[in-house]
Amino acid sequence: MLKDAIKAGVPIELLSSSLNVSVESLKGKISILNGISPKVIEILNDKNVPKATFQALKKMVPLRQLECANLMIKFDNFSKNFSHSLLQSSPKETLVETLSKTPASKEGHKKIIERLEKEMAHVHVDADKLKETYGSNSLKLTIIISHIKTLLENQILFRWMHKNKPDLLNELIKISEINSLS
């Protein structure tokens, strides 16, 4: 939207004063997506992605940017640390320019591996939390479905809902027809 306003001829100074931000800050926001693949922009457009993540993605070729963006979506992690660990673990041929002119030391590799291990540990903890709640949530859903079936068997209630709330009745019927939670 900012780029469109500038292309239409609105001076950047006027935009910055209207938005109550500095000209430098506005220029940074405008240029943040320069060097990012359009497909990556499209899939990340509704996500809250930090500026540092885009800076890490800019150092990768478009195909690697897309791979990393998909990983971020899969793990629902758009953090600076995760994007930097993806950058560090990227093969040299998938980078726009190499990260350093000298070969990486063993210490550098250790740090990269430790960072990846920490990120994967966080993902594992999140998965364990989901596993812990799955059983109780499944039981609750089964009880709710059973209760809805009982309510729908009541003819007076069924007729009243058919007359006054047909949309709600249709949704309740769909829920009552759920046979499997998988």
Burial class (CB in 10 A: 0-12, 13-18, 19+), 136: exposed
Cβ-based neighbour number of residue 177 at 10 Å: 10
Q: What is the DSSP letter of 60?
A: B
Host H or E run for residue 172: helix 166-176
**pLDDT tens sequence across 35-79:** 899 999 889 988 889 989 999 999 999 999 999 999 999 888 999
Give the mean pLDDT of the chain. Answer: 86
Distance (Å, whole) CA 104 – CA 125: 31
Distance (Å, whole) CA 21 – CA 13: 10
Host H or E run for residue 98: none
What whole-number percentage of the chain has pLDDT above 70? 93
**pLDDT tens sequence across 117-148:** 888 888 888 888 888 888 888 889 999 999 99
